[in-house]
Structure 1
């Protein structure tokens, strides 16, 4: 066989293998179309785990967001950078701020016609630009992410820093935001498209095996509960319930409320792998120490202070990934944010308790939900026999007396002891004597003989 024929056969085999590899490749698709936060991080983690278990070749994320929390965006970024399969983002229609950081972490960026990418300055909840140290950290993240995927790091930094000059794409002093066509020309995006099918064509994937991630109702509930705002309200319910349970004797509703809030707080975090057994345990131990301080140990000392610290740490540690106090030191802001949420909720709950606590306990609606603190005589309760002459009065046994039980006398119920040892329910009785708040009776028929 000539060298030419051998070379021809090798080329045929090579292109045949390449062609076969492009058939039936698995694509795992999921969507992020809300603010980047704990819910988005939860969905991304679940989608990635299922993509791995499905042996997917590509992880495709359809993105439409105006941004969100940098810490959760950084968590998503890290997952994408270290993914075991090719990652794709389909921007449809916005990838602003935190969305731009996430996009740069993928292997391929495709943008829908009319989509935009950029404007990643760090701002607070009211939209005010944060100080330089936050901007510097974000610029570093953008540069490092772009470099990791072979993209223009200076252009990525211009998403955050208005002082960086990018001729023909933005004015000096303005943040960089790119359209789909501009992103392609700048080399940040692969192509401007109109559907995911065009992505497969661009990547040479024929007859892809597409698996679409399904967000269940349980996923939505967990995503809702792990929102820091909701977590704060749950912490307020936990603290408020514990306070009313410890301060008000006989109270039941507050304890139930506290337990429910505790379950709703810890359960989704436990399912996420954030809250561990030991974190829940130190919170429970803190509650026990507080109870000991209130009911057993006089004054307020070591047990009470230790209880508060353990409760605070148990709640905060549960919100941050760690391996038995081995926190991710590269992200110190996560732990600080968790403590701020917990302390803020605790302080707010204490303020509300001081302002409205006593008034809440006195309301008619609240009294219907709790056990009564006192059994007053006005309500028909009797702790002892009234000081009236009940001797020789005839009543009826309302329970079996063996020898003690209850009798009815002049429309009132009393504790009584049968001097005969046993009196059946419904039999008439005669009061013989009254000692130490107790009536002593005999069967009426015996006395009549």
Structure 2
């Protein structure tokens, strides 16, 4: 009986991911435009498109391309995303696919081109701050060219094309021939028209690059036997542009967020630090969620971590298992939120050091920055006029105040968070700290008296 139950449970768990995906009565095609300059915001669009296509069980993904090129690092990320999906991918070159656009196109195993379209010329260039092309020293030029050549060869191998042809698009000192005919002489970068790209090569008569010339995407769908498919076109949204900004300042958001929460724990009731901290952390998770990196599980891990830290600070003062567990969960949630993951899944692309190295570096910077903020805040913040006014430390002296308590010593009768009670000379008195937490039975000393407001500090 138990064996039958376990077998049934295992079968249900194994079948769950498949049932989570939609089944479509009508063929579904996702169209991802790659238009104008290729830049980091486009990576988010491609990632979102591929992720949605996986979840919706799409039949194909078509990259509709017309671009002069752009950022090579963004192209590399897009190539990795394409390589990690099992859905058939296609590129439709509407007009131009230069530079980074050509590299992305070759990462897909199916290229179709419109009449009069071109692909090629992928040599790296450095742009000046004014927008023009900037000259580079020969050694720098060769270093960049070598790196891009390796990248374009890898993209061609991923798409199933001739790596030598791909490299001829990067290196002008290469000559490239097709069927014994030179189509790119030495000294010129390889650029192919739609007719040149669909030339047949080899004994198996395979296309050089393009599988055919089509007028538009509907014509392409007819060629791949998906006529009448539902087409979903993705666009860059304002949220995805915001995600790009958030990703670039992630360590700063984490520092302000964690620092704000820490200061709120240290000065309960003020609210400003807590609001600033929560806002920055919500922005962090929102931006990475839009970017297709962070899932709700990362936010849940973070919330659990904060909850454990809160218990450690307010319920079981000290710094033990709950506090360390909370910090660990927060650390994991940040790293996970910035790590590349498989489209349609919570899993990282892989568990290699390369997947986590950059997120780990950013989180370490944020934690170190938060530690420095906490030290500086503890030293200087209590003395600032703004905090004194917020915590009611600047009080007009009361002529009836009892200065006889000044410098008297006693013990905390309750936990001071920062308010509570203390025993001084056998009397139970309401006291408050300057924002610090003081545990029950800890020795204290009166440092200020303002009427019925008695300020104490821990005896070191």
TM-score band, normalised by shorter chain: 0.5 to 0.7
Q: Aligned pair 1:155/2:165, yes or no?
A: yes
- Secondary structure of the equivalent of 1:43? helix
Give 5+ residue unaligned stretches, structure 1: 1-23, 388-435, 439-449
2:47 to 24, 38, 42: 42
Alignment CA distance shift 1:174-1:66 (3 Å): same
Q: State the SS of the aligned residue for 2:176.
A: coil
Write the distance in 2 (CA, Å) between the matches of 1:142 and 1:277: 33
CA, structure 1 residues 174+230, in 2 after alignment: closer, same or farther (shift >3 Å)? farther
Query: Of the candidates 231, 251, 266, which is equivalent to residue 250 of structure 2?
Result: 231
Q: Mark the CA change 1:173 to 1:253 in structure 2 (over 3 Å): closer, same or farther.
A: farther
Task: Determine the structure 1 residue equivalent to 2:70.
Answer: 66
Higher relative contact order (CA 8 A, sep 6+): 2
1:372 aligns with one of 374, 390, 400: 390
Question: In 1, distance between residues paired with 2:263 and 2:377?
Answer: 12
The 5 Å alignment of 1:24-39 reads 27-33=29-35, 34-36=38-40, 38-39=43-44
Determine helix, strand or coil for the equivalent of 1:66.
Answer: coil
> Against the structure 1 CA distance between its residues 330 and 358, is the aligned structure 2 distance closer, same or farther, given a 3 Å change threshold?
closer
Residue 308 of structure 1 deviates from its aligned partner by: 5.6
Aligned-partner Cα distance in 2 for 1:208–1:304: 57
How big is each residue's C-alpha offset from its partner over 1:111-164, in whole Å with a ceiling of 9 and x where there is no partner?
Answer: 5635443527699999977679955862552242132xxx32321244456665
Q: What is residue 142 of structure 1 aligned with on the other side? A: 155
Per the TM alignment, residue 74 of structure 1 is displaced from its structure 2 partner at its CA by 3.0
Match of 1:413 in 2: none
Deviation at 1:311, TM superposition (A): 3.5
> Which of 294, 300, 305 matches 1:285?
305
| Two-structure CA RMSD over aligned residues (Å) | 5.3
Contact 1:29–1:210 at 8 Å: present in 2 too? no
> Quick one: structure 1 residues 318 and 120, their matched pair in 2 at CA, closer, same or farther if it must change by over 3 Å?
farther
Q: In 2 relative to 1, CA 319–25 (structure 1 residues): closer, same or farther, beyond 3 Å?
A: closer
Runs of 5+ in structure 2 lacking a partner? 1-25, 135-139, 200-206, 403-450, 454-460
Distance in 2 (CA, whole Å) between partners of 1:66 and 1:274 is 26
1:43 and 1:159 mapped to 2: Cα distance? 29
Q: Distance in 2 between matches of 1:200 and 1:250?
A: 62
Give TM-score, length-normalised by structure 2: 0.56
Shift of 1:315: 0.5
Match of 2:231 among 201, 211, 214: 211
Provide the secondary structure at the position in 2 that maps to 1:377.
coil
Residue by residue, what CA displacement relative to the aligned partner does 1:386-429 show, whole Å, maximum 9, x if unpaired? 57xxxxxxxxxxxxxxxxxxxxxxxxxxxxxxxxxxxxxxxxxx
Query: Does the 8 A contact of 1:112 with 1:195 survive in 2?
Result: no
**What is the distance in 2 between the residues matched to 1:118 and 1:257?**
48
- Structure 2 contact 107–158 (Cα < 8 Å) conserved: yes
Matched with 2:355 is 334
Q: Partner residue of 2:122?
A: 119
Shift of 1:276: 5.5
Q: Secondary structure at the match of 1:52?
A: coil
Are residues 1:313 and 2:336 paired? Answer: no
Give 1:223 shift. Answer: 6.1
- Mapped contact 1:316–1:335 kept (Cα < 8 A): yes
Shift of residue 267, structure 1, vs aligned partner: 4.4
Displacement of 1:235 in angstroms is: 2.0
Count of aligned pairs between the two proteins: 349
Q: Counterparts of 1:99 and 1:340 in 2: how far apart (Å)?
A: 32
Is residue 2:170 matched to residue 1:166?
no
Q: 2: distance between equivalents of 1:209 and 1:249?
A: 58
What is the Cα deviation at residue 229 of structure 1? 0.8
1:187 to 208, 221, 246: 208
**Cα deviation code 1:277-330 (max 9, x no counterpart):** 3674267537855995899448xx999887666543331122225699975447
The residue number in structure 2 matching 1:415 is: none
Asked if the contact 1:28/1:51 (under 8 Å) is kept, the reply is no
CA deviation digits over 1:317-365, x for unaligned, max 9? 222256999754476423112223333455566678888998888888x
Contact 2:174 2:185 in 1 (8 A): no
Instruction: Judge conservation of contact 2:106–2:156 (CA < 8 Å) in 1.
Output: no
Aligned-partner Cα distance in 2 for 1:296–1:288: 12
SS of 2:362's partner is helix
Q: Distance in 2 between matches of 1:313 and 1:175?
A: 46
Encode CA deviations 1:242-276: one digit per residue, 9 max, x unaligned: 34334556431111221122223234655747446
